[in-house]
Amino acid sequence: MSELPQSILFCCDHNAVRSPMAEGIMKKFYGTGTYVQSVGVKNDLEIDGFCIAVCQEVDVELSRHRSRSFDEMEQWGDDLSSFDLVVALSPASQRRALDLTRFFHLDVEYWPIMDPTGLGESREAKLDSYRQTRDQIIQQLIARWGEPTESL
Protein backbone atom coordinates (compact mmCIF):
# COMPACT_ATOMS: atom_id res chain seq x y z
CA MET A 1 0.00 0.00 0.00
CA SER A 2 1.35 3.41 -0.90
CA GLU A 3 0.42 7.06 -1.18
CA LEU A 4 -1.82 8.08 -4.05
CA PRO A 5 0.02 9.62 -7.00
CA GLN A 6 -0.80 13.13 -8.24
CA SER A 7 -1.79 11.71 -11.63
CA ILE A 8 -2.37 8.26 -13.05
CA LEU A 9 -3.07 6.88 -16.50
CA PHE A 10 -4.73 3.48 -16.96
CA CYS A 11 -4.26 1.84 -20.34
CA CYS A 12 -5.48 -1.28 -22.14
CA ASP A 13 -6.03 -2.41 -25.72
CA HIS A 14 -9.09 -0.39 -26.83
CA ASN A 15 -10.06 1.91 -23.92
CA ALA A 16 -13.49 0.28 -24.02
CA VAL A 17 -13.55 -2.11 -21.01
CA ARG A 18 -10.64 -2.47 -18.56
CA SER A 19 -9.07 0.99 -18.52
CA PRO A 20 -12.40 2.90 -18.34
CA MET A 21 -13.44 0.58 -15.48
CA ALA A 22 -10.18 1.31 -13.66
CA GLU A 23 -10.51 5.07 -14.28
CA GLY A 24 -14.11 5.20 -13.05
CA ILE A 25 -13.58 2.99 -10.01
CA MET A 26 -10.39 4.85 -9.03
CA LYS A 27 -12.26 8.17 -9.12
CA LYS A 28 -15.15 6.69 -7.12
CA PHE A 29 -12.87 5.10 -4.49
CA TYR A 30 -10.32 7.87 -3.95
CA GLY A 31 -12.02 11.09 -5.02
CA THR A 32 -10.69 13.93 -7.13
CA GLY A 33 -7.34 14.49 -5.41
CA THR A 34 -5.62 12.41 -8.09
CA TYR A 35 -5.92 13.29 -11.78
CA VAL A 36 -7.06 10.02 -13.43
CA GLN A 37 -7.38 9.28 -17.16
CA SER A 38 -7.51 6.19 -19.36
CA VAL A 39 -6.38 5.38 -22.86
CA GLY A 40 -6.06 2.47 -25.28
CA VAL A 41 -3.41 1.27 -27.70
CA LYS A 42 -6.12 1.71 -30.35
CA ASN A 43 -9.40 3.59 -30.41
CA ASP A 44 -11.56 1.38 -32.60
CA LEU A 45 -14.37 0.53 -30.15
CA GLU A 46 -16.91 2.49 -28.13
CA ILE A 47 -17.37 1.90 -24.40
CA ASP A 48 -18.71 -1.62 -23.90
CA GLY A 49 -22.33 -1.96 -22.71
CA PHE A 50 -21.53 -4.85 -20.36
CA CYS A 51 -18.76 -2.71 -18.86
CA ILE A 52 -21.26 0.11 -18.25
CA ALA A 53 -23.76 -2.33 -16.67
CA VAL A 54 -21.40 -3.99 -14.18
CA CYS A 55 -19.93 -0.65 -13.12
CA GLN A 56 -23.42 0.74 -12.49
CA GLU A 57 -23.83 -2.12 -10.00
CA VAL A 58 -21.12 -0.46 -7.86
CA ASP A 59 -22.42 3.08 -8.56
CA VAL A 60 -19.73 3.97 -11.12
CA GLU A 61 -21.11 5.84 -14.15
CA LEU A 62 -19.32 5.11 -17.43
CA SER A 63 -21.99 5.77 -20.07
CA ARG A 64 -20.45 9.15 -21.03
CA HIS A 65 -16.93 7.74 -21.43
CA ARG A 66 -15.36 8.41 -24.83
CA SER A 67 -12.63 6.01 -25.90
CA ARG A 68 -9.28 7.42 -27.00
CA SER A 69 -5.88 6.12 -28.02
CA PHE A 70 -2.36 7.09 -26.91
CA ASP A 71 -2.01 9.01 -30.19
CA GLU A 72 -5.24 10.95 -29.66
CA MET A 73 -4.24 11.72 -26.08
CA GLU A 74 -1.05 13.35 -27.33
CA GLN A 75 -2.94 15.23 -30.08
CA TRP A 76 -5.33 16.61 -27.44
CA GLY A 77 -2.41 17.90 -25.38
CA ASP A 78 -2.33 15.31 -22.58
CA ASP A 79 1.41 14.69 -22.47
CA LEU A 80 2.38 11.26 -21.19
CA SER A 81 5.23 12.81 -19.22
CA SER A 82 2.72 14.73 -17.11
CA PHE A 83 1.55 11.50 -15.42
CA ASP A 84 3.26 10.16 -12.30
CA LEU A 85 2.19 6.58 -12.93
CA VAL A 86 0.98 4.53 -15.90
CA VAL A 87 -0.87 1.31 -15.09
CA ALA A 88 -1.08 -1.10 -18.02
CA LEU A 89 -3.92 -3.62 -17.86
CA SER A 90 -2.93 -5.66 -20.93
CA PRO A 91 0.38 -6.89 -22.40
CA ALA A 92 -0.04 -4.76 -25.56
CA SER A 93 -0.65 -1.59 -23.54
CA GLN A 94 2.33 -2.36 -21.32
CA ARG A 95 4.58 -2.62 -24.39
CA ARG A 96 3.22 0.64 -25.79
CA ALA A 97 3.55 2.46 -22.48
CA LEU A 98 7.13 1.27 -21.99
CA ASP A 99 7.97 2.29 -25.55
CA LEU A 100 6.44 5.76 -25.12
CA THR A 101 7.98 6.35 -21.68
CA ARG A 102 11.57 5.32 -22.39
CA PHE A 103 12.54 9.00 -22.61
CA PHE A 104 10.73 10.00 -19.40
CA HIS A 105 11.34 9.16 -15.78
CA LEU A 106 7.93 7.60 -15.35
CA ASP A 107 6.76 4.51 -13.50
CA VAL A 108 4.88 1.89 -15.51
CA GLU A 109 3.14 -0.93 -13.64
CA TYR A 110 1.51 -3.98 -15.16
CA TRP A 111 -1.65 -5.40 -13.63
CA PRO A 112 -2.72 -8.64 -15.36
CA ILE A 113 -6.45 -7.99 -15.63
CA MET A 114 -8.63 -10.49 -17.50
CA ASP A 115 -10.18 -9.35 -20.80
CA PRO A 116 -13.86 -10.39 -20.49
CA THR A 117 -14.83 -9.69 -24.11
CA GLY A 118 -15.88 -12.80 -25.97
CA LEU A 119 -16.40 -14.83 -22.78
CA GLY A 120 -19.75 -16.37 -21.87
CA GLU A 121 -22.61 -17.50 -24.06
CA SER A 122 -25.64 -16.04 -22.29
CA ARG A 123 -26.14 -12.45 -21.15
CA GLU A 124 -25.77 -13.53 -17.52
CA ALA A 125 -22.56 -15.48 -18.25
CA LYS A 126 -21.13 -12.44 -20.06
CA LEU A 127 -22.06 -10.18 -17.13
CA ASP A 128 -20.34 -12.62 -14.75
CA SER A 129 -17.12 -12.36 -16.81
CA TYR A 130 -17.26 -8.57 -16.73
CA ARG A 131 -17.92 -8.67 -12.97
CA GLN A 132 -14.78 -10.79 -12.53
CA THR A 133 -12.77 -8.18 -14.41
CA ARG A 134 -14.32 -5.35 -12.37
CA ASP A 135 -13.58 -7.20 -9.13
CA GLN A 136 -9.97 -7.87 -10.18
CA ILE A 137 -9.52 -4.13 -10.73
CA ILE A 138 -11.08 -3.37 -7.33
CA GLN A 139 -8.75 -5.88 -5.63
CA GLN A 140 -5.70 -4.35 -7.33
CA LEU A 141 -6.72 -0.80 -6.38
CA ILE A 142 -7.23 -1.75 -2.73
CA ALA A 143 -3.98 -3.74 -2.63
CA ARG A 144 -2.10 -0.74 -4.07
CA TRP A 145 -3.79 2.22 -2.30
CA GLY A 146 -5.88 0.78 0.54
CA GLU A 147 -9.55 0.89 1.32
CA PRO A 148 -11.63 3.49 -0.53
CA THR A 149 -11.53 6.95 1.02
CA GLU A 150 -14.83 7.99 -0.53
CA SER A 151 -18.16 6.50 0.56
CA LEU A 152 -19.45 3.81 -1.75
Single-letter amino acid, residue 76: W
Residue 2, in any domain of the structure? no
For residue 91, the enclosing domain spans 7-145
Residue 55, in any domain of the structure? yes
49-69 pLDDT tens trace: 999 999 999 999 999 888 888
CB 141, CB 22: distance < 8 Å: yes
Residue 40, in any domain of the structure? yes
Residue 99, in any domain of the structure? yes
- Facing residues of 108 across strands? 86
**Residue 116, domain CATH:** 3.40.50.2300
pLDDT, averaged across the chain: 89
Stretch 101-125: mean pLDDT: 87
Say whether pLDDT at 73 is over 70. Answer: yes
Residue 150, in any domain of the structure? no
Q: Where are the alpha helices (DSSP H) in the chain?
A: 18-30, 49-56, 70-75, 91-100, 123-145
- Tally of domains in the chain: 1
Residues of the chain with pLDDT > 70, as a percent, come to 97
